Each structure stands twice: as structure tokens, then as C-alpha cells.
Structure 1
Amino acid sequence: MPSSTTPSSTPSTPATPPSPGPARASSPIDAVADRYVDTIARLDPLAATSMGVPGHDHEMTDLSPAGHATRADAARAVLRELDTTPPVDDVDDVTLAVMRERLGLDLELDEAGEWLGQLNNIASPVQDLRDVFDLMPTSSVEAWENVAARLNALPGALAGYRASLRAGAARGRVPAARQVAIGATQADELADPASSFFTSFITGPAVDAVLDESAACSLVRKELEHGAAAARSAYAELAGFLREELAPHAPAADAVGRDRYALWSRYFLGADVDLDETYAWGLEELDRVVAEQESVAREVLGPRDAGGPDVVARAVAALDADPARQLHGTQALRAWMQETSDAAVLALDGTHFDIAEPIRALECLIAPTQQGGIYYTPPSDDFSRPGRMWWSVPAGVTEFTTWRERTTVYHEGVPGHHLQCAQAVHARDTLNRWRRLACWVAGHGEGWALYAERLMGDLGFLDDPGDRLGMLDGQRMRAVRVVLDIGVHLGLPAPARWGGGTWDAEKAWELLRANVAMPQPYLRFELDRYLGWPGQAPSYKIGQRLWEQTRDAAVTARRAPGGAGGLREFHARALGLGSVGLDVLRQTLA
């Protein structure tokens, strides 16, 4: 939740979570956390829709400085209430530790003015105000009335966002010029009547299937048209504001500096890491993954072709040219995603994980946007909206290869994000609503998903050399992110093999091109993302590192001599916690 000073008291070290048993009675601390979910939903209706909390789909979040201040005040009030509410069991101990850590960091970022200046190419209000419509129900007249109301409220939200950007600029929190330009371009796309998402969203079969020709439905259609036009106009106004008012004050440098980066790193990881040591580890990890990838590439090529330089590039070319690994068109891609996901659920349930019935449903979809990237959205609280894996395919991209993306399905689906997030939503006998629906720590979530990719390789699901090379391709990219992100934002020295001197966008681009086998449009999007969202991208690989360290310590400590159930037990206990900061995870499971 974009709001949040320092914790009102020091988090206690949580104890080991209880073993499965009778349903746990809700505690006074659970009541505080549950009420806070209602507060979040009231003050941030976009978050309510994301969480699947009903009753707010027709409302819009106040993105002005006053809106941020109100949400910060609510977080402070909850921390004060928690200070006077004693825990009754181990579950409460974890809740206290997580809420104090999360809300405390929200407030640190609020006091530093960081929430005011949010603008990048993937996760800022420019995208959030459009993306929320992907999650809104559309199967009834009332649902389309909610869509119309929110569309008509969107100009007010963007006006508040512009006010926050102005306030952030007054405090020296101006996004880099690169991000301002990208935001303006994205706003242009949403403002264009011919190609805007808002134009296509309110027309077509999905609308016609619900809205008939009655007078009442005709009125809803008019409100939808008015709202879509208002949204397009508001984005046009935003594009002009970004170019004409904000851009002249935007710094050319992409780097945010050590102090700001350290704060964002703690936010995304839920852990305090030594950034210089982590950067050095990132360089070592990149070399290790490259060596492993070269070994697997030789398996792909076979003994006759495995000699000589550029073995990975030649293996990638061979895999891309293999007709058995090709998919033609987005519908074939969607069908393959669904088939691969369903097969993973079937194979893992009852063997390596226990997957409850509601969690077995994962819907694979092609996203309505064309910005690139693959992402997951969790189920609603009652599972009426299932977990979904979305693939945002850039315009003109029609050919896909399975070898590179099988590991991605495991990352976004099972045992990755879907198992992790849906398991938390399902754990209503143990977790309060805030822990099930509202808490998300990127390093925990993305670290688990990357851990899950490597786990699937260890369990034999990536024994095909091509699929394993795809997993390593992803691991290599995530190692690059650690080096690139920390190196650029902290202004660290670049190794001679990557140009020497100080890391900057140009050196980062060469590092990406040399190590990541992606089409150039994807790579450009990725680089812009890292430059504009400091600390988030490294949370994947650093999170995986901390997950593996926690697992190794916990399994070693708990496994009886000769026992064989340690890993499955660890996964069940870890996923049963929901999303927590990685320091809390380690303390709880040690």
C-alpha cells in the first residue's frame, strides 16, 4: 500500500508457526489486521479490487498528496493499536513482526517523499489506473455500471497524481528524464481514440453479451462511452503535463544513489543486505550460471557440434529453429500455457505439495496490453475470480518457443506465484485477512518463484536439455539484474570486461545484450524497468538466495538422521506463513 514512519516499536522475533491442527480462533490482533483491510479498501479502492474485496469497484483511489497523507495516518494508527494489543500465540507473533516491518517501511518511504514521485514503465499510476480494469468483473449489468463509474472517476485520479508529482518535484523527487519520456509515450497510447485500451474495452462481444437494447442498458452504454472518452482525455492531459511541466525538471541521470536505493532494497526484500557484498556475489553468480549454461548448451548441440566458441548462442539458435519447440500465434501460446500449467498441478499435488481444490484452478490468458512481460494476479478472497497468468505480447510478436518459457509457467503458476499466493488466500483458518490478501513482499514472492524454477529442475521437470537451458537463461538474466541494478543506481565501478569506469545505462545495455537471449524490444523494456524501479528487479535473485539459505538451515536443523521428508515439510510450513519479509521468514523458520 503506498503510504507509510518507522515502526512504533521494534519487531519481536516470531516463533515457529504451529503445526496443522484444529481451526485457530481469531485473536484481537487478527481483528486489528482485519479492520485494517477494510480501511485499505476504503482508502485505496484500486487495492480493494486487486485483493478481491467487494463493494469498491465503482470507486477510485485518491492519488493526491492528501490521499497519500490519509493512508499514512491510517498506517500510523494501526501501529499504535498493535502496540497496545498483546499477542496470544505464535501466529500473532508473526503478524506483529510482519505488520510492523511492512507498515514501518511504508511510512519511511512516505516521509522521504518517495510515493509522491512514482513514475516508471511498468508499476506506477500510469499503468495501475489502466491495469485495474483487467481485474474488474464484467459479467453483469451492475459490473459494467461499476466500470463506467470508475472510468468517469479516472480523470480525478490523474489530476491527483499530477499534484503528487508536483509535490514530489518540490521535494527533489523528480523521476529521471527517461521515465518521464516513457510515461508520456504510454499516456499517448492510452489517449489515442483509435488504439486506446479504453476504446476497445467498452465495445465488442464482452459488453454485448451483458448489455441488451433496453433503456437501462443503453444508459449504461452511454456512461461507458462518456467514461472512456474522459479517460482518454485525462491521459492526453497527463502526457502534456509530463512533457511540458515535469520533463524540464527531470534529471538526466538514472541512478537514485545509495541512500534512496538502500531504502527501496529493504522495502522490496523485507531484509537488510550488504549491497556491496551482494553486488560482488551477483558477479560471481553470473559467472557460475554462465558456466552451467555452457555445459547444458553442449548437451543441446550434441558432441559433434559442441566444440568451439559461442556455444550458448548456437544452442539457442538450434532450439529456436526446432519446429517441435515452436508456437505460432497467441492462441497457441495461451493453450500451451494452460496445458503446461494443468500438467504441473496434476504432477505436484500429493507428491511434493498438497494443493487444495480451489487452488488447482489457474487461468492462463493473453493480456489486453502489448507492453511485454508476463505476470500473475491472485484469486479473490472467495475464489470467484481465479488466479490468472497473463502474457502481455508486444505488437507484431507472433512466434514463440516453448524451451525458453516452460520455466516461466512454473514461475508464474505452480509451484511459483499461484501456489504461493493462492495458498495464502486459502489459509483462512490460520491467517487473518491482511496476511492473506494485503501483504506482499517482492523479494519473498519473486524469490520464491525463482526458487520454484530451480526446484522444478531439481525435481526432474526440466530434464530436457532445452527446457533446462531455458531455466538457466532466466537465472542468468536475474543474476544480470543484480549486477546492473545495484551497479547503476549506486554508481559502482564496472569490471573491465563490461567497459570499466562507472556503471551507466549504456554499459548496462551491453551487459544485457551479451547475457540475455531476448528480442531487442523485450530487452529495452527490461532495461527501462530496472533504471526506473530501483531495487525491485534484484529482489528476484537475492530473494532466491535468501530462500535457499533459509531452506538449507531449516531442513538441516529439523531433519532427523536418515529422514526424507524435510523439504516437503519446509515448503508446507513456509507457504503457510503467507507473504512475509525475508528477515521474518528466516527468523520464523530457523
Structure 2
Amino acid sequence: MMKHKLTLCAALAVATLGTVGCTRTTEQEQRTEAVQADQNLGQLFENYYEERLKLFPLEATAIADNRYNDQLPNDLSQEYVAQVRQLYQGYLDKINQIDRSKLDAQEQVSYDIFKYEMQMSLEGLEQPAELLLPVNQFWGLPITIAQLGSGSSNQPFNTPEDYEDFLGRIRGFTVWGDTAIANMRRGMRAGIVLPRALTQKVLPQLQAMVVDDPTKTIFWAPVENLPDTFTAAQKDSIRQAYTRAISEEVIPTYKRLYDFIQQEYLPASRTSTGISGITGGEDLYKYLVRYWTTTEMTPDQIFDIGQQEVARIRSEMEKVKEQVGFEGSLNEFFRYVNDDPKFTPFNTPEEVLGAYRQVEQRMQPQLDKLFGMTPESEFEVRQTEAFRAASASAEYNPPAPDGSRPGIFYVPILDASTYNVVGMESLFLHEAIPGHHYQISIQQEQEGLPRFRQYAWYGAFGEGWALYSESLGRELGLYTDPYQYFGRLSDEMHRAIRLVVDVGMHAKGWTREQAIQYSLDNELTSREAAVAEIERYMAIPGQALSYKIGELKMKELRQRAEQELGDKFSIRAFHDEILKGGVMPLAVLEKKIEEWIAEQKST
């Protein structure tokens, strides 16, 4: 067809002794095709986003889209998996029909992210072990549904309809629980089971939900706090409905899960540590490494990088030890920083929260030097709720896009008098500003980004950015106290250790005990904390690799931009370029930054 057009153009040129008219026609056709491609792409993204929310209603609730708040699909069923596969395959076919060359630079980035997402998601569905390991101590629906039902998470409890919605999710959880048991039985037959150490950690979590009195469960909290605007009849109706639902559905579901895991699953749990100990585990781990790092790196490559980083950071730690005049070994210095009373100066939770707010105030004057873009979303520091503080880490909860909920930095404080001040600055930089709060808020606020990108998450980018943010402390006027800088090195060491122990356990035959000891030998931590961390990596293989791999890529890109641009390099412009596109696979980010560097050179 194109050949015919060129032949027609040539004929017109001869007839008119020129080619102007032909050129205009061709340019017009190209513009029309580009506009059509743009419209097709935008509509494709919007259609995908809407269809996805129907299948993943918890994602909708998390961004304050309340249309599906009563939905909880049985994501362990073959029928559901088939629907999800159809979604991804259908949209992969559609994106392949769009000519990438006709798109502008931003659209090409969206195209690349979307295609990657469809391909990786389809590949993930070919990993059956995920369905046969539905429960662990770190995350899963038994934990999520309790957080939602507590009334302190994303699930709203403001209207009678809100209360009715969550009853729908309770019904869904009952179906899910029965399927989870059936799937775990299939896993037992196939040699796909949890390590015994993890199964033992799941049991008390389930047992805590099995009580005689429905008003003593976490699910009763929203009923305890019924809004004053409700009528007496509405309140009475909700109390009755929740009493029945908790007594007849919630508690029995947790009890069935507990009884099954204690009586059948625990005896069948494996003695091996890593995922390579299950049928198909070696291939599953290779996929999970690519999924979490968004790279093509092999486990061996990551293991080597981890060992190099551990050695480098240890060297930096030795320098701080010498700077403060400590004469013992590095491990003795770890114990000193952990145990000396001068590092636990707080008496009340409010004093701890106030110290974090002071970190924000100290660095505020420097932020404008490093960032042109700042979030519009509100931000707060809060103490983690008592019911989950014992098992929670410091964390960031994103703001609602409609402004109804601020971005929240949650700090678990079990006993303020034992809260250690070392590392508070780096923790704030990571979880709050300019880490997760800047990255996630700016992403959600970006006009022109397709919605699938506004609310996307790639750990290698998001956690990589947060860890990179810790390295900005001195530029932001922090780390003037050598112990706070040592806290920064300790946090970085924690992420470097992950590269070694995660690969060690899942690909190199390391035992749980070897990994725990490696952590104790190389970082500022307690045995209890090291055990919890190692068991987290056992439960979610590969996830812990994302932080350091992402951070190293961002540092590499900054160094490349500084070297190539020289006097033209602007740290504000570099950071804005990273943040304004939201999260993306690291290969897409690298291509994007390379194009940005080329643009800066030409201006």
C-alpha cells in the first residue's frame, strides 16, 4: 500500500513540476495516524484500568475508588486465574497492534511499561506454586482482611452502605478460606509447602482470631465506633448483622484454617529453607528475581554484588567507629549503639514523633535545592495503632488521590523508653520525605499519566528511590551527627545483606541459621529482629532484592548524567525527571534517562 502511494506521488510531481502538494498530503496522513494511535492508546489504557479494578477490587479501595468495596474475588480459584489470564493476554494482543514509532516520547514510555507488565504478569500465572502457598506470616488475605475490617485501614466505615459493603467481603473471605485449604492440600501432594519455621509463625496469627465473643475481635472495632449520625435502628441493624457475620463466618473461617494448618499442614511442612526446596522452585526463584528487580540479572550476579556492597559498607562503618573513638570491634560497636542508654532518650511516644517532625524541619530549607517538584498531598507522622504495632515495621501509607486521606508515616512505638535514636534520620528520608511520600504522591498527582501508571508499583523503582533518598541526607543538611550517619550505613548494610542472604537461601542452599548468623555478623540488629527479617525473605523470595538493585541503578544513572552533562547537570532537573514519570521497570527508566541526557546536551 505504501509503495502505491509513493508511485502516485511521483506521478503528481511530474504533472505539477513539484512535490509540495504530495508532501503536505503525506504529512497530514502521518499526523492523522499519530493522533489515531494516541487516541487508541489512551483508550486502551483506560479500558484496561477499568477492567482491572473489577478483578482487583482491593486496589480500587486503596485509592478511595469505592465502587467495588463489597467485592472480594476468590483469587485462588482456577476460574479467577483464567479471567486474569484473559485480561493480560487480550491487552498484550491489543498493545502489539499499535505502532510504537507513531507515539510521542511519553506515550512510548507508557507503551513500554504496559507491554512489560502484560508479559511479566502472564509469565507469573505460569508459576503454580503461588496458588498453592496462599498463606504466610508476612502477608496474605488472612492478614489483609483483618486490617481492612479493623476500620483503621483503607476500607471506609462512614455510611450504612459502607458497613453493608464489608459484609460482602466477609462472605468472600469465607469462600477464599475453603479454597486456600484445598489448594494447600494440593500443594502437599505436589511437594509445594512452606518451611516448618514459617508454618509455626502463621499458627498464632490465626489462633488470635478464634474467640468465643465476636465483640472481642478486631472486626468489631467499626461497630464499636458507629458514627453518631446513624439512627438507632441503623445502629441496631448493623450490630446484629456483624454479630452474625463474625460469629458464623469470620471466626469459623479462621478456625478451619488454624485446625487444618496445625493438624495436617504443619506435619507436612518442609525442613528446607529456600524456595528451591519445592517442586519447580529453582525456576520459580529465577522468575521472582526478574519480577522483583525488573532486570535480567541472575541470582549469581546479585549474590556477588551483595558481597561487594557488604564489604564496602563495612569499611565505611569502621571509619565511623574510629571517628567517635570506639576501641572495640565492629560487632562490639553494634552492641554499644544498641544498648547504651544515651541512644534511648525518649520517655513518651509523642517525644519520638516530635523528633521525626524535627528531622523534617531541619532539612526543609535544603529541599528546594534538590527538587523542583514537590507533592501537593498533605503529610503526617503518626504512631502505629496498638493492635498491630507489635508485628509492624515503620511504613508509609499513601494519600488518597481525592485528598480525603493524607500520606502517613507510621511509627510503631511499643515502649518509648527503648526507642533508639540512631537511624531516625535515614528512616525518615526513606519512608517519608523525600522517599515514599515524594515519589508516590507526585506519581498520583501527575496530569497526563494514564491511570494504570498513576497507581502502579514497581518495588525496584519505588523502594530503590526510597533507599537512594537515604543517600541524600548530607545534601539535605542531615547526618551531621556521626551516629546518625552510622544509622544510615546500618540501613544501607541491611539492604546489601539482603542480596546475599536471599540468594543464599533460595539458590545456594543456605540454611535459615546461616542467613541469621550472616545478618548478626554484619549489621546493627538483635537476634530477634534478624530472625524476623530472615523469615520474611523465606516467605516472599526475591522481594528484598528490589531495594538495593533499584538504588544502585539510580546512583549509576546520576553518575552517568553528571559525567556526561558536566556544567549542564542540574540535580533538581535530574530528580524531577526520575519522579515525574512514576514507577517503571529499571530498563525503561534507564532508556528514559539516556534520552533526557541527550536532550540536555542539545540545549
Structure 1 residues 136 and 354 mapped into 2: Cα distance closer, same or farther (>3 Å)?
A: farther
Q: Report the Cα distance in structure 2 between the residues aligned to 1:147 and 1:41, rounded to whole angstroms.
A: 17
Alpha-carbon shift at residue 231 of structure 1 (Å): 2.0
Structure 1 residues 319 and 236 mapped into 2: Cα distance closer, same or farther (>3 Å)?
A: closer
Q: Report the Cα distance in structure 2 between the residues aligned to 1:318 and 1:248, rounded to whole angstroms.
A: 41
Alpha-carbon shift at residue 536 of structure 1 (Å): 0.8
Q: Report the Cα distance in structure 2 between the residues aligned to 1:534 and 1:397, rounded to whole angstroms.
A: 33
User: 1:414 aligned to 2:433?
Assistant: yes
Contact 2:520 2:530 in 1 (8 A): yes
Deviations 1:400-433 (CA, angstroms, capped at 9, x unpaired): 1222222111111111111111111000x22110
Deviations 1:504-541 (CA, angstroms, capped at 9, x unpaired): 11111111222232343322211110112111112211
Contact 2:353 2:381 in 1 (8 A): no
Higher RCO, Cα 8 Å, sep 6+: 1
Q: Report the Cα distance in structure 2 between the residues aligned to 1:83 and 1:155, rounded to whole angstroms.
A: 40
**Counterpart among 38, 63, 81 of residue 75 in structure 2:** 63
Deviations 1:271-291 (CA, angstroms, capped at 9, x unpaired): 111321221221121111111
Alpha-carbon shift at residue 468 of structure 1 (Å): 0.7
Q: Report the Cα distance in structure 1 between the residues aligned to 2:162 and 2:550, rounded to whole angstroms.
A: 38
User: 1:562 aligned to 2:567?
Assistant: yes
Map residues 547-558 of structure 1 onto 2, 5 A cutoff.
Answer: 547-557=554-564
Structure 1 residues 343 and 233 mapped into 2: Cα distance closer, same or farther (>3 Å)?
A: farther
User: 1:386 aligned to 2:406?
Assistant: yes
User: 1:507 aligned to 2:519?
Assistant: no
Structure 1 residues 510 and 397 mapped into 2: Cα distance closer, same or farther (>3 Å)?
A: farther
Structure 1 residues 199 and 335 mapped into 2: Cα distance closer, same or farther (>3 Å)?
A: farther
Contact 1:255 1:531 in 2 (8 A): yes
Structure 1 residues 245 and 91 mapped into 2: Cα distance closer, same or farther (>3 Å)?
A: farther
User: 1:151 aligned to 2:158?
Assistant: no
**Counterpart among 515, 525, 536 of residue 518 in structure 1:** 525
Structure 1 residues 348 and 168 mapped into 2: Cα distance closer, same or farther (>3 Å)?
A: farther
Structure 1 residues 477 and 115 mapped into 2: Cα distance closer, same or farther (>3 Å)?
A: same
**Counterpart among 488, 495, 501 of residue 505 in structure 2:** 488
| AA aligned opposite 1:435 | R
User: 1:467 aligned to 2:474?
Assistant: no
Contact 1:139 1:210 in 2 (8 A): no
Map residues 187-202 of structure 1 onto 2, 5 A cutoff.
Answer: 187-192=206-211, 198-199=218-219, 201-202=221-222
User: 1:89 aligned to 2:104?
Assistant: yes
Alpha-carbon shift at residue 124 of structure 1 (Å): 2.5
Alpha-carbon shift at residue 38 of structure 1 (Å): 1.7
**Counterpart among 136, 140, 144 of residue 120 in structure 1:** 136
Structure 1 residues 455 and 233 mapped into 2: Cα distance closer, same or farther (>3 Å)?
A: same
Deviations 1:94-141 (CA, angstroms, capped at 9, x unpaired): 112112222222221211214302433212233233334412223444
Structure 1 residues 330 and 509 mapped into 2: Cα distance closer, same or farther (>3 Å)?
A: same
Structure 1 residues 295 and 465 mapped into 2: Cα distance closer, same or farther (>3 Å)?
A: same
Moved more, 359-368 or 413-422: 359-368
User: 1:77 aligned to 2:95?
Assistant: no
Q: Report the Cα distance in structure 1 between the residues aligned to 2:438 and 2:366, rounded to whole angstroms.
A: 11
Moved more, 50-59 or 329-338: 329-338
Alpha-carbon shift at residue 317 of structure 1 (Å): 2.4
Q: Report the Cα distance in structure 1 between the residues aligned to 2:212 and 2:449, rounded to whole angstroms.
A: 45
Contact 1:286 1:476 in 2 (8 A): yes
| AA aligned opposite 2:297 | V
Alpha-carbon shift at residue 488 of structure 1 (Å): 1.3
Q: Report the Cα distance in structure 1 between the residues aligned to 2:452 and 2:501, rounded to whole angstroms.
A: 34
Q: Report the Cα distance in structure 2 between the residues aligned to 1:396 and 1:356, rounded to whole angstroms.
A: 34
User: 1:275 aligned to 2:294?
Assistant: no
Structure 1 residues 106 and 283 mapped into 2: Cα distance closer, same or farther (>3 Å)?
A: same
Map residues 92-491 of structure 1 onto 2, 5 A cutoff.
Answer: 92-116=107-131, 117-133=133-149, 134-169=153-188, 172-192=191-211, 198-199=218-219, 201-204=221-224, 207-210=225-228, 212=230, 214-229=232-247, 230-257=249-276, 258-299=282-323, 301-302=324-325, 306-307=326-327, 309-311=328-330, 313-314=332-333, 317=336, 321-323=340-342, 326-341=345-360, 344=363, 346-356=364-374, 358-367=376-385, 368-369=387-388, 370-392=390-412, 399-427=418-446, 429-437=447-455, 439-491=456-508
| AA aligned opposite 1:102 | E
Alpha-carbon shift at residue 555 of structure 1 (Å): 3.6
| AA aligned opposite 2:410 | W
Contact 2:74 2:172 in 1 (8 A): no
Please state whether the residue corresponding to 1:358 is helix, strand or coil.
coil
Q: Calculate the TM-score normalised by the size of structure 1.
A: 0.84
| AA aligned opposite 1:383 | G
Alpha-carbon shift at residue 213 of structure 1 (Å): 5.6
Contact 2:167 2:245 in 1 (8 A): yes
Contact 1:147 1:224 in 2 (8 A): no
| AA aligned opposite 1:112 | Q
Q: Report the Cα distance in structure 2 between the residues aligned to 1:276 and 1:422, rounded to whole angstroms.
A: 35
Structure 1 residues 319 and 490 mapped into 2: Cα distance closer, same or farther (>3 Å)?
A: closer
Structure 1 residues 167 and 36 mapped into 2: Cα distance closer, same or farther (>3 Å)?
A: farther
Deviations 1:469-507 (CA, angstroms, capped at 9, x unpaired): 11111111111111111111112xxxxxxxxxx521111
Please state whether the residue corresponding to 2:400 is helix, strand or coil.
coil
Structure 1 gap segments, 5+ residues each:
1-24, 492-501
Percentage identity across aligned positions?
21
Q: Report the Cα distance in structure 2 between the residues aligned to 1:534 and 1:113, rounded to whole angstroms.
A: 15
Contact 1:443 1:581 in 2 (8 A): yes
| AA aligned opposite 2:458 | V
Alpha-carbon shift at residue 294 of structure 1 (Å): 1.9
Q: Rg: which structure is higher?
A: 2
Alpha-carbon shift at residue 210 of structure 1 (Å): 4.1
Q: Report the Cα distance in structure 1 between the residues aligned to 2:197 and 2:590, rounded to whole angstroms.
A: 37
Contact 2:362 2:477 in 1 (8 A): no
Please state whether the residue corresponding to 1:119 is helix, strand or coil.
coil
Moved more, 470-479 or 45-54: 45-54
Q: Report the Cα distance in structure 2 between the residues aligned to 1:409 and 1:175, rounded to whole angstroms.
A: 34
Alpha-carbon shift at residue 580 of structure 1 (Å): 0.7
Alpha-carbon shift at residue 238 of structure 1 (Å): 1.1
Please state whether the residue corresponding to 2:515 is helix, strand or coil.
helix
Structure 2 gap segments, 5+ residues each:
1-36, 277-281, 595-603
Q: Report the Cα distance in structure 1 between the residues aligned to 2:170 and 2:360, rounded to whole angstroms.
A: 34
Q: Report the Cα distance in structure 1 between the residues aligned to 2:50 and 2:216, rounded to whole angstroms.
A: 33
Give the root-mean-square deviation of aligned CA atoms.
2.7
Structure 1 residues 336 and 145 mapped into 2: Cα distance closer, same or farther (>3 Å)?
A: farther
Contact 2:398 2:406 in 1 (8 A): yes
Q: Report the Cα distance in structure 2 between the residues aligned to 1:270 and 1:536, rounded to whole angstroms.
A: 11
